Structure 1
């Protein structure tokens, strides 16, 4: 979730007016600031989360690995005052994902004990967490549902369209096998789906990067598969 003022939703005006309180309370809960190297694991799937992490800026990736060895990548996230570990803080569950630094990061450790006391002292903060977590939950669930219920071709096309509109919460990878994991499939199936979109004259590869070739054909392809209008 983002620590920054939420600019959408029912409480957007309220958070804008109370953003200084939220930031000041969270900063009072910071017990350590440190630099971690690229590819450092900030949280490991299946492990207990003792404290939260605040990343003011920098790139992370989020990954889940099933017991059968298959991986699902949510993609990369360009942090902008993002707090990590907030879900596990409230539930007490083990960490659900691997969260990995995609570059060297400066991060702050937020004490779970201090945050607990702050939430008791400032109930407004609990409402902020609830609102921010609700947005993250629905964005993430939307990604999972589309990956599950739609074809790989559709998901690749829809993902490109979301990035074109600049509304996608996460970004893509440069390597094919990581992109395949982002769509919950294998490298072979991913490449076959890309080839199909290329044959349909919807996308093209430019210096190894997948790009939209025909916006009209892309929109038509999405409409035919999703039955939605612009």
Structure 2
């Protein structure tokens, strides 16, 4: 979740006027600041989360690996005061994903014990966490459901359109095999889906990067695949 005041949701106006309160409370819970190397795993899937991590800026990626070896990459996130481990803090469950530093990062360790007492002392902080977690949950679930229920071609097209509107919460990868994992599939299947979109004159590759070639055909393709969305304008 993002520590900065939320710009959406029922309580957005309230948070914008109480931003300093939230940040100051979290700052009081920080017990360590350190630099980690590129590809450091900040949280490992299946492990106990003892403290939370705050990343003020820098890029991380989020990955899930199934027992059969298949991987799903949620994508990369350009951090701007992002907190990780908040879900596990409330549930005491094991970490659900690998959280990976995509570059050298300066991170702050937020004491779970200090945060526990801060939430009791400042109930408004609990409301902030509830709002931020709810928004992250619905955004993430929306990605998972589309990856599960729609075709690879559709998901690639829809992802490009979200980036076109600048509303995609996560970013893409430069390497094909990682992009394939972001769509929950193999490199071969991903390349075949991209080639299909190229044949339909919807997208093109420019210096290895996938770009929209015809925005009208892209929107028509998304609609024809069954997604009548408020995004289609």
Q: TM-score, normalised by structure 2?
A: 0.98
Q: How many correspondences in the alignment?
A: 230
Distance 2:144 2:98 in 1: 16
Q: 1:1-230 maps to which residues of 2 (within 5 A)? A: 1-228=1-228, 229-230=232-233
SS of corresponding position for 1:126 = helix
SS of corresponding position for 2:197 = helix
**Structure 2 unaligned regions, length at least 5:** none
Deviation at 1:226, TM superposition (A): 2.5
Deviation at 1:227, TM superposition (A): 4.3
List per-residue Cα deviations over 1:23-67 (Å, max 9, x = no partner).
000000000000000000000000000000000000000000000
List per-residue Cα deviations over 1:186-208 (Å, max 9, x = no partner).
01100000000000000000000
Distance 2:98 2:71 in 1: 11
Q: TM-score, normalised by structure 1?
A: 0.99
SS of corresponding position for 1:226 = coil
SS of corresponding position for 1:171 = coil
**Structure 1 unaligned regions, length at least 5:** none
List per-residue Cα deviations over 1:66-112 (Å, max 9, x = no partner).
00000000000000000000000000000000000000000100000
Distance 1:142 1:171 in 2: 15
| Cα distance change on mapping 1:189 and 1:18 into 2, 3 Å | same
Structure 1 runs (4+) deviating above 4 angstroms are none
Distance 2:73 2:107 in 1: 22
